[in-house]
Amino acid sequence: MKRLSLGLGSPPMTSRPTRDTRSSDDAHLPQSFMSFPTSSPTAQALLPSGRPDGSWKGFYGLLLTAVLFGLAFSPPAQAQSPAQAQSKRAGDTFYIKLGGGLSDYAGDNDGTLSIDQTTELREFFDTRKFTDREAFPYVLVGELGYQFSPGFGLGLGYQFGQYPFADGVPFTTTPSAPGQGGNLGQSRHTVQLLARYMVRASTWTFSPYVDAGLNVSLGGFSPGVGPLVGIGMDASVSDRVSLFLEGRLNFTFADDAVDGITSATRADALSALPAVGLKYTFDRPAVPPRILELNGPAEVAAGESAAFAARVNEEEATRPLSYEWEFGDGRTATGLTPSHVYNEPGTYTVAFTARNEAGVARDSLTVGVVPPPRPPRIVSLGATPDPASPGEPVQFESTVEGAEPLTLEWDFGDGRSGMGPAPTHTYDAPGEYTVRLVASNEDGTATDSLTLPVERALPAVCTTVQELNTVYFARRASSLDSAARQKLQENAEVLRTCPNLSVRVEGFAAPDEPTPLLLSRDRARAVAEFYEDNGIAPGRITTSGEGAVGDPGGKKGADEQNRRADSIPQRDGDL
């Protein structure tokens, strides 16, 4: 290949020992015609026409258009967070590329040596290769590599091409210094080791990329080694397949390796300008986690357990997935449904993170922690006096715990109510009243009650009486005479006056009376029936037959004392 310049001349090429390298078409020419002269009108007249000026501009314009197309139609990187968007392309996987396109040879036999012995940029993609040789300029490309990430990979490539003019047979006939060359054929093999960087490969459907590496050229005069550079566009079709359009320049040293011709420049180029094909990755792109829902209480009391829950795209996200919660108080948890207890009031930001090899998704919510509730609790409830009397003021008292302010409402059981911790109330009528206290605050309500008996004031006799009248019976009789009834009437009056009293009736018989036990019971029962008939409740009366008492044949009058029934008063609480 000739020295790259912009129209400047170059020193004459170096001669090698001559050998007949002419093609069959040029075999009839003398050796002196196998030469590479400097520019001359004669040589220029003999050059085939057909290479348009600025053709190299068209090629690079095509590639620039492809890059701009990708930039224009790919979504901006900010359209969706990488933590939430699935990558367009896979990483950490092997891939294979197959394609084909047009070959291009830029070297010592591309026709320009007869003009200026230089290689200009316009000499790439020379259109005469379609017209001045019978062979079509095509290239087949293949590549096997490893994609370390969606945007970076290393590959081992192979390129087979048919390159018109690379056969080493000059087509110029202007006499000049002898050169090398020969019929080396037009097929060349290129093995490539390259690195590739793709722009926004994770997020853009159309991703521009650049290649750089080394290549080894085979099939020419000798093996050649050199650098390679390339640019291209990758269009994602599915999660494993993409289309590519690329151009790649494979520079080869030494100068005669490709075409057997040595000139002032040091390298030739066997290129694919352009190539199209398919790229297949063996694994699908990893699917990042997405947080679909995040739930937690807006407010919770200190000391109470708060439940949190997250829902992610578990079915489609790449495993393994990990979950982490940060509760804002220095403590953390894992899993999708943790619970947490805050010890101090305040406002906390709860952050949830889901991650896998494809990315990280984060979301958060705010929890307000309030002081723990203190609902009311009624510790004690009382009334003084208890029992009370009608018209007598009753002082109620209560002890209630709970968060302030506390509201205390009393229902005194007689249709009236009161407020406060220790109200006073007077009952107008006797009875048994249920007094209810309701304590409430913003955290709850508590209720308690007591029963208060209200009774009339009792005469002194009700608290001092020790015995009631005793009645006596005729021999062998249990019926009451008028004197006995008179005495029992007095007893009944005391019992009616003193509701705090009950009565125990004990019957007796004389020793010489028949069936004294049965008779004593009948006598006690006769007295009880009298009390009941005179308004004394049966529940206040108990009876007992004590049988015979005293000695037979005792003193005169003692026998009458034995035929009796005693009424013994009993107060509440007496045994």
Q: What order do you get walking across the sheet with 359-370 strand by strand?
A: 299-301, 359-370, 346-356, 322-326, 332-334
Neighbours of 421 (CB within 10 A): 14
Query: Which pLDDT does position 177 carry in this prediction?
Result: 41
Q: What is the DSSP letter of 77?
A: G
Quick one: 225 exposed, middle or buried, by C-beta within 10 A (0-12, 13-18, 19+)? Answer: middle
Q: Give the separation between CA 82 and CA 458, rounded to whole angstroms.
A: 93
Q: Are 431 and 454 in contact (CB under 8 A)?
A: yes
Q: β-pairing, 187-198 with 152-162?
A: antiparallel
Residue 514 CA to residue 475 CA, distance in Å, equals 10
Q: Distance between CA 337 and CA 333 in Å, rounded? A: 9
Q: Which long-range contacts (CB under 8 A, 24 or more apart) does 289-293 make?
A: 289/313, 289/317, 289/321, 289/354, 289/355, 289/356, 289/358, 289/359, 289/360, 289/361, 290/84, 290/317, 290/354, 290/361, 291/352, 291/354, 291/361, 291/362, 291/363
Question: Would the CA dihedral through 141, 144, 148, 150 be positive or negative?
Answer: positive
135-164 as b/e: b if 16+ CB within 10 A: bebebbbbbebebeebbebebebebbbbbb
> Which residues are CB-neighbours of 451 under 8 A, at least 6 positions away?
432, 433, 434, 435
Amino acid 329 reads: D
Give residue 237's identity as a one-letter amino acid code.
V
**The CATH number of domain 291-370 is 2.60.40.10:** yes
- 202 residue type, one letter: S
The structural architecture, per CATH, of the domain 461-571 is: 2-Layer Sandwich (3.30)
**DSSP E strand stretches across 67-131:** 93-106
Task: Tell me if 205 sits within 8 A of 74, measured CB to CB.
Answer: yes
Look-up of token digits 């010890």? 343
**Intervals of the chain under pLDDT 70:** 1-85, 110-126, 132-133, 168-182, 551-558, 572-575
CA nearest neighbour of 152 among 198, 193, 90, 211: 198
- Range 377-454 has CATH code 2.60.40.10: yes
Strand partners, 517: none
pLDDT at 552: 61
Helix (H, G, I), strand (E, B) or coil at 332: strand
For residue 39, the model assigns a pLDDT of 34
- Helix (H) / strand (E) element for 461: namely helix 461-464
Domain span(s) for CATH 3.30.1330.60 in the chain = 461-571
Pull the structure tokens for residue 422. 């220790």
Residue in the structure block whose two tokens are 């550079």: 229
Tell me what pLDDT residue 125 has: 59
> For residues 285 and 359, what is the distance between their CA atoms, to the nearest angstrom?
11
What is the SS3 assignment for 44? helix
Q: pLDDT at position 196, please?
A: 97
User: What confidence tens digit (pLDDT) does each residue in 513-560 have?
Assistant: 999 999 999 999 999 999 999 999 999 999 999 999 876 655 555 677
Whether residue 569 has a cis bond before it, omega within 30° of 0: no
Helix 516-533 vs helix 482-497: angle between axes, to the nearest 10 degrees? 60
Helix (H) / strand (E) containing 247: strand 241-252
Q: What DSSP assignment string belongs to 250-285?
A: EEEBSTTTTTS---SSS-EEEEEEEEEEEEEESSPP
Please check whether residue 307 is in contact with residue 341, taking contact to mean a CB–CB distance below 8 angstroms.
Answer: no
Say which CATH class 56-74+90-281 falls into: mainly beta
C-beta neighbour count of 481 within 10 angstroms: 12
Q: Where are the alpha helices (DSSP H) in 98-239?
A: none
Look up residue 534 and give its amino acid: N
Asked whether 262 and 256 are in contact (CB, 8 A), the reply is yes
CATH 2.60.40.10 positions along the chain are 291-370, 377-454
Q: Nearest 10 degrees: CA dihedral of 52, 57, 60, 62?
A: -70
> Six-digit token pair at 141?
């490309």
283 half-sphere exposure, CB direction, 13 A CA radius: 16
**pLDDT score recorded for residue 37:** 35
